[in-house]
Amino acid sequence: MANTLFDYNIFTEFAFFAAITTPLMEVPILQGITFQVVSAIVVAILVSFLFPSVRRETKGVLKNGLGKVNKTVQIQVCAGIMVGVFYASGLIDKVGAMTETLTSSMVKIGGGFAMVVIGMLTGSQTTAQSVIMTFVGPMLESLHTDPTLIALGASHIAAAGQNMPPVGLTAFVICGLIGGILNTKVDPLKVMFLALPNSLYFLLIGLLVWFI
């Protein structure tokens, strides 16, 4: 909230947090921890151990927590490996060079479709944007598309793919949390299909923004 409302990032402004996050920013595989949302979750976990009830059940808390997010973590690890392979093999640059001759509409439709597919396979909005927008973003800029509209459209399209079957990472996370709280089985696949109209709406908005 402080960063959103007042442009004040506690993880860089507070000396204690900055001393921890600054070195991590230099390590590629650990940079994700410095993302504000992830850092906030880490801090929340540490704060929870200030409560005696949590400390007494440390083993059970860790076991149950890891069990609930087991599938989610597997998906994220696989997505990370896939992105790493793309960058290490130079595939991003090759695809960018191949698509330079495409028309404006083909770039937008093809880029949007590719982002949705990556989102569907990895369940990650971040992965979809990192892989596809690396070369689609500059191409759209060269076609005189407003950078703000590029970012707005990409975020909607990637969010749409993230929530679609078969992975739907958000559904897995929420279902894991709700299932753990209510101690009942929650079907993430059913949730993904119920959320499909909303995902299609996000996809439509993203494409409309790109074609403005």
Radius of gyration of the chain (CA): 20
Say what the pTM is: 0.62
Could you read off the pLDDT of 78-100 as tens digits, one per residue?
767 777 777 778 776 776 666 66
State residue 53's pLDDT score: 84
Categorize the per-residue pLDDT at 206 as very low, low, confident or very high, splitting at 50, 70 and 90: very high
| Average of per-residue pLDDT across 36-44 | 82
Categorize the per-residue pLDDT at 198 as very low, low, confident or very high, splitting at 50, 70 and 90: confident
Categorize the per-residue pLDDT at 106 as very low, low, confident or very high, splitting at 50, 70 and 90: confident
Could you read off the pLDDT of 163-183 as tens digits, one per residue?
888 777 777 777 777 777 777
Q: Which residue has the higher pLDDT, 208 or 172?
A: 208
Q: Rounded mean pLDDT of the chain? A: 81
**Distance separating alpha carbons of residues 157 and 128, to the nearest angstrom:** 9
Nearest Cα neighbor of 132 from 120, 116, 121 is: 116
pLDDT at 115 over 80: yes
Question: b vs e for 142-155, b when ≥16 Cβ sit within 10 Å of the residue's Cβ?
Answer: eeebeeebbebbbb
Query: Which range is most confident: 34-43, 69-78, 98-107, 143-152?
Result: 143-152
| Average of per-residue pLDDT across 124-133 | 79
Place of tokens 């069990």: 67
State residue 16's pLDDT score: 82
State residue 14's pLDDT score: 81
Q: In the chain, pLDDT over 90 holds for what percent of residues?
A: 8
**Distance separating alpha carbons of residues 109 and 104, to the nearest angstrom:** 9
Domain spans of the chain, in order of start? 1-48, 65-210
Nearest Cα neighbor of 123 from 60, 87, 88, 175 is: 175
Q: Which residue has the higher pLDDT, 101 or 26?
A: 26
The three-point CA angle 40-77-118 to 5° equals 100
State residue 208's pLDDT score: 92
State residue 99's pLDDT score: 63
| Average of per-residue pLDDT across 204-208 | 92
Structure tokens at 7: 């442009």
**Which residues, 6 or more positions from 112, have their beta carbon under 8 angstroms from its beta carbon?**
153, 157, 203, 206, 207, 210
Q: In the chain, pLDDT over 70 holds for what percent of residues?
A: 93
Q: State the alpha helices, DSSP H only, in the chain.
A: 2-6, 10-13, 15-25, 36-48, 52-56, 58-68, 70-88, 91-98, 104-122, 125-142, 147-163, 169-182, 188-194, 196-210
pLDDT at 204 over 90: yes
